[in-house]
Structure 1
């Protein structure tokens, strides 16, 4: 066969493949064709069965193709065309398997022509010797996107063509980088021990775990105890004995001393390969530096201890606060029998969780058999209001017990607020009453407070208030008293403004609402519950509430 009778492959790419590709994926090193090939006739070559070649490549793993040379008029190789490809073959342009068939090397990878790789192809084709390239960088522009890779190529002559295989070095290098990164981030390194040859191999990270100079080389397992904290030796020794003696896998944490004397927490996880007799011959495992984790656990444990101690302190303070509440503040709800009166109490501070507020009440029986009834309201909320309230409440009770007239008690409380050593400019309102059972007389005074509400025979009316200004307002106030004769079945309400006030509403509207509600509930078994249920909305109330419902037992 002459050179014009050689089997040829069409110079245009078949199967609709695009020939407009970018720069070559291969090295651009220039190669000059052999001169003795010029002007020579091409020897006759046997025909090649492409289906047979494709069947062979179908059984090959990795990237492999079969290239047929394309000859020029003078017998020189002008191109190579891919005529078969392995299923796993993929080039840098992401073309895969059969997509590669029909591609022209000159058209698809133009920089290959004249390169070192091209020369390798020609040499392998001419001499029959296998060509293996050194790894080289390759860049191709596909659809305007540059793709760069690192390849190693092998070419071998076969049936007047070339079997070309290549390996992307990127995947292996990327895997190595990932492995190194994972080991570094996890502070972990692998180790292998060949027990037959007594050889040890460490990854670089293991030296960092043990703070060991790489120039010293890795440690044998037998050397390990010399670096371990004495308290951890027995348990570690037992684990190593089981590993080397019985081939049992281990997962053990111990402490070692670094080159600077610092203590590190190290975890070893290892398993053994055994021979036919069950004797360990190789050990594979990893070391992991758990020092940072242990320190974090110790800090967390310390924080938990501190939290427990703080919680205990808070519980103790809460218990103390509860005791102080019982000592300083009124009970939130109670029913009393005093001097022939039935007294129901409701006390609802605005700060429910703390149970502290500026409203207060007193309901006690005095030594002469009379009853003292007090409702007061200190301006403000919180502990400051409670402190002022406690002063007023206990001072008023003390003076009442000694028989001081009610108007004088108010005057002295006014002086207490004005001239107290811890003056905080508080003011307060107050209504105070004394009921004498022998005469059924109810005598009362007020300091800027809302008047009591009397309900008699189902009709409600507010008592006419005697003169009196709020406590702490003026240096020399005047306080008068007023009296009313109670009849069997009468009901009285002593209350603070939180029961009747609404934002943006005149106080007279709130008092009228209270009057109507008291009349409607006057026949109930629990009058106070009905009043509170009607007038008080927990979601919208903005002030403390204190109410005393006083009932005179019917005849």
Structure 2
């Protein structure tokens, strides 16, 4: 310990430090520790490393037993004896730098070649000072930025450097990881409207996270609320239940999951959920309580809105169901027989009426087949636009009005004109329109006079051939205040068949109307020789899975 001392470089006083290291004034001395003795600067060779008293393997073995980030730095002097750099000669297994290098990957690296921006910083001066004075250096938290792969990475560290065996034992803690986790936790709490609380019953201390203050609308300067005081925040109605839950938690250590309402200082009513459990001592008495608060106000309001919507939907459903029931009963009263066969004025009239009646889809298709006082027959098929009670009510108006006027002998074209006026001047008019075809058959002459208001033309079957009658002029009812309705006459021969029908018989999704009319003509011709042609037509054309509308058909045969 006394050999080869250079008096010019020996400190005025020295004390043993971990390996015989001595301290010196940084202002007057710039000597460095070398193994167990000082080595004068003039005896250093340029670029030479000074070996520690302990072998590198021994230092590494020592660091292998340490946790955290720890390295051993050996100073590298220049030609003038000044320290130019440090070499990492040992590293703990958990050592991790900003670039992700770990443990032995750090061994052998040069400090300034690896972290070039360190030179000239307070950290660099701290290393030199610790080595020169033999005193431990603790850095204030600082930021270090390294560019890797073109991406700048900024991290915060706190560093401790302790002189030892001619070098420095350097340990560091990366602060940004913990801070980042803290920020993530804060963001998660804010997004989830949750916050944590801790009640230390033994020390009588309470800790709230920031989000709990936000949930309660409480000024953080007032501090948190004790567990015993918590029920005081609840509204009057919720106070008893919350008090019982807190007493059970505080006294018996039973976990709670309870929702209550509070009124914030701003006057807002909030729904708050607390989930908490206690940690007990060996006797089973609670000593600490951990809890979570969650602001459920938005959820509760959404539930209330949903409940209101459900109630409104149920009420609407009830109204619509009642309307459908009334419409069905009214429709059944107006058209009591969905299928029947009549003998009128020398004609056989087969009726087929098939309402769709899915849900509230009660339509306005209707028919009428009666014998008039003069011995002629009145034959009518109509279709009111729309569905539901309004359509059925409009259908009733048209059906009974047309029948009444026909009984009084009113010409058919005049009947349509007056029905049009009726639709236009109804006090409860919802802009309803209707199509209609009406005919009067005179048996003595065998003449059929007919009119139509925007309706599909009748289909005549004669001697096995099917053709549509050319319709006289007539627009649908309710379309204009100045309509024009003409009539047409045809003589029916023995063996003739005539079809009056609504559009539900021929219309199909994604298909042109002309295609449906052509299909009806082909089918009617194929069924003309059967005993009941109408049954064959319906079986061939009506498919329950694809139909979308009511169907009403009058099959008239001479």
TM-score category (smaller protein): 0.7 to 0.9
Q: CA deviation at 1:413?
A: 0.6
Which residue, out of 542, 548, 555, partners 2:554?
Answer: 548
C-alpha contact (below 8 Å) 1:41/1:74 kept by paired residues? no
Question: 1:356 maps to which residue?
Answer: 363
Distance 1:267 1:459, change over 3 A: closer
- Counterparts of 1:159-170 in structure 2, within 5 Å, are 159-170=165-176
Question: 2:528 maps to which residue?
Answer: 522
Q: RMSD of the TM alignment (CA)?
A: 4.5
Question: 1:272 maps to which residue?
Answer: 278
CA distance in 2, matches of 1:305, 1:500: 41
CA distance in 2, matches of 1:497, 1:173: 77
Question: 1:287 maps to which residue?
Answer: 293
Distance 1:549 1:354, change over 3 A: same
Q: CA deviation at 1:418?
A: 6.5
The reply on whether 1:372 has 2:377 as its aligned counterpart is yes
CA distance in 2, matches of 1:452, 1:126: 117
Question: 1:394 maps to which residue?
Answer: 400
CA distance in 1, matches of 2:272, 2:483: 78
Distance 1:460 1:355, change over 3 A: farther
The reply on whether 1:311 has 2:317 as its aligned counterpart is yes
Secondary structure of 2:363's aligned partner: coil
Q: CA deviation at 1:136?
A: 0.8
C-alpha contact (below 8 Å) 2:460/2:469 kept by paired residues? no
The reply on whether 1:184 has 2:184 as its aligned counterpart is no
The reply on whether 1:432 has 2:432 as its aligned counterpart is no
The reply on whether 1:109 has 2:115 as its aligned counterpart is yes
Question: 1:336 maps to which residue?
Answer: 341
Question: 2:460 maps to which residue?
Answer: 453
Q: CA deviation at 1:152?
A: 0.7
Which range moves more in the overlay, 49-58 or 31-40?
31-40
Secondary structure of 1:91's aligned partner: coil
Distance 1:192 1:382, change over 3 A: closer
TM (normalized to structure 2)? 0.74
Which residue, out of 229, 238, 249, partners 1:223?
Answer: 229
Count residues with an aligned counterpart: 505
TM (normalized to structure 1)? 0.75
C-alpha contact (below 8 Å) 2:272/2:294 kept by paired residues? yes
Q: CA deviation at 1:104?
A: 0.7
Secondary structure of 2:228's aligned partner: helix
The reply on whether 1:494 has 2:494 as its aligned counterpart is no
CA distance in 2, matches of 1:425, 1:116: 89
Question: 1:209 maps to which residue?
Answer: 215
Question: 1:86 maps to which residue?
Answer: 92
Which residue, out of 235, 255, 264, partners 1:258?
Answer: 264
C-alpha contact (below 8 Å) 1:338/1:371 kept by paired residues? no
Secondary structure of 1:222's aligned partner: coil
Question: 2:64 maps to which residue?
Answer: 58
Q: CA deviation at 1:375?
A: 3.5
Which residue, out of 271, 282, 307, partners 1:301?
Answer: 307
C-alpha contact (below 8 Å) 2:473/2:484 kept by paired residues? no
Q: Which segments of 5 or more consecutive residues in structure 2 lack a partner in the other structure?
A: 6-25, 33-39, 426-430
C-alpha contact (below 8 Å) 2:327/2:362 kept by paired residues? no
CA distance in 1, matches of 2:533, 2:523: 10
Post-superposition Cα deviations, 1:147-188, rounded to whole Å, max 9, x if no partner, equal 211111112233332221211111111122222223333333
Question: 1:96 maps to which residue?
Answer: 102
C-alpha contact (below 8 Å) 1:331/1:347 kept by paired residues? no
Q: Which segments of 5 or more consecutive residues in structure 1 lack a partner in the other structure?
A: 4-30
Q: CA deviation at 1:224?
A: 2.5
C-alpha contact (below 8 Å) 1:442/1:485 kept by paired residues? yes
CA distance in 2, matches of 1:155, 1:420: 103
Post-superposition Cα deviations, 1:96-140, rounded to whole Å, max 9, x if no partner, equal 333322211122223333432223223333444332111011122
- Counterparts of 1:477-492 in structure 2, within 5 Å, are 484=492, 486=494, 490=495, 492=497
Distance 1:107 1:33, change over 3 A: farther
CA distance in 1, matches of 2:101, 2:168: 20
Distance 1:85 1:371, change over 3 A: farther
Which range moves more in the overlay, 197-206 or 334-343?
334-343
Question: 1:16 maps to which residue?
Answer: none
CA distance in 2, matches of 1:32, 1:144: 41
